[in-house]
Structure 1
Amino acid sequence: MKRYISFIISFAFAFLLWLIVNLNGEYEDSFKARILIKNLRPEKAIKNDYPEFVNIRLKGRGWKILPFYFLSKPHVSIDLSNIHKTLHLNLLNNPRVQISLPKDVNFVGIEPDTLSFELEQRMEKKVPVVLSYELKNENNSFAYPPKIFPDSVVVSGPESMVSKIDSVFTDKILIDKIGQEVNTKVKILNPNQKLIKISSDFAQVKFLVEQIVEREFVVAVHVTGIPADKEVILFPPDIKVVVRGTISKVVPLELDKDTVIKVFVSYHDVLNDKTGLVKPQIILPEYLKLVSFSPEGLEYIIRQK
């Protein structure tokens, strides 16, 4: 055991000496450096694509450039002050370009060595946030429209791009739970992270998914717009209506169908009918879908009161 410990200590000491000797040598290597934009006028925005990173070549002692491999990354700052429209920039020896480097680390080269920037008027616009989702089972649906907070965000950037954005979408979520209310956080997708800014990166979403069912109800038909001295008798006086919706919305209709499902014919349509059958109109709340109704035409009698 002692021999094993002695071997490890000796090996570690030898490795340390080797490391000290080698890191005292001079090295040259390339590193990815992030582009940082400074002093862009508040009313202006960059409209052209430009690289997020450039490759810079550095030279220095091993101890000096070692952190660039593991800890810190170099960055290149570009000053866009007093630029109104376009700038073609040579990154070598340009006062608008600053590369932050520790002492005794020398800048050798950069690739690409030129960049172009096109500026235009900056625009802000408020747009809705749209939930992107996939229901695992097509026989399920939302019991109520998903609630999103914030339901809208402010996007800002070059006018030519922002003017075309009518909404932003969340990251797509797969929904497989039913009958259980879900409250979750989702990412808001940025159509162009480099050129467009969004006032919020995430949204809180609340929803309930339930099974979709169909039910048939017999609903009385009403006649609207009847003059005070007239009376319209329909045959039959009610129709069968089949609706589709989530279970929590459809089942309670057994007690409240005549209030929720509106079925009517217009006295004006009765007067102008030439077939002897008038078609009923059906109004449903947005959470219900009409599957079918019968009969599709009703006979009628108009008589004086």
Structure 2
Amino acid sequence: NLSLKVLSFFFAVSLWLFVNLKATSETTLQVPVRWENVPEFLEITNAVTDSIPVLVSGPRRILSNLDPRKAAVVLDLSDAKVGLSNYQVNEKMIPLPPGLRAQVLPPGNIQFKFDLLVEKDLEVEAQFAGEPPEGYGVEKVEIQPARIRVVGAQSEVQALSGLQTEPIDLTGRDSNFEVRRRVDLNRPHVRIKGGMDQVDVKVRIQEKTLQKVFQATPVEVVGVDKERVELSPLVVDIVLEGPAGLVRSASANDVAVVVRVPAGATGLHLLRVSARVGVEGVRAECRPDRVAVRVLPPQASQ
């Protein structure tokens, strides 16, 4: 019977619509939490949860199409003060489509920790890693800009006495060089004011200074016949100082000590001795730097 079949079809459709339109369901959603209007003089210093659990119930057809991102809770922090503050979330704060109901599940509050926002000028120091070749070292470091202003939570800014660059590798460096490095703040709630977080670093590399001692070096007399001279002491030590490579290469054959006796001098004199070094760029010092010289008259030596 065609009429009966048509009637049965419409009855089934009506029943399906009635069941689905009237059927209710519920589900737990993680509703996003956002905040706004943080006072300019405050900084949030704790890890704040970015969602809360909410039990949502209502018609299944509406609930199944619900996008949690469109139900986000927005907190107004314009009344915030220094210290801990709890902001309670209630059902009225959750924007849901008509027909849906929300129940905020425990704990139902968002905790914020606020600190004063302060500024401070800090000196930047270069941080090094690795070692230059043997005999070389860092002589001077120039940083531009030498000081940087930071802004952030008072508790963290006050704890800073200075700033460091990211590590600068010295491995294999035996000459001057320049690099650009980021400033390593290492503080979660401190930032550089103005956003310029890089500095230019000039590093001057110099060969290290080394000392080497040649002991008991004989004193040579010049300016008078050696047969007429008595010395005390007869030997002195020579201390060489200069670039490590040059000093290491010097040998006893490269050094000599002389004392110059003025022409016509006789009697006892305390004269300065001088060192001769056959290596350029090396300084020499005699210890002691004076010797007693007795010059005998010409007839006394015959």
TM-score, normalised by the number of residues in structure 2: 0.46
Q: For the pair shown, which has the larger CA radius of gyration, 1 or 2?
A: 2
TM-score, normalised by the number of residues in structure 1: 0.46
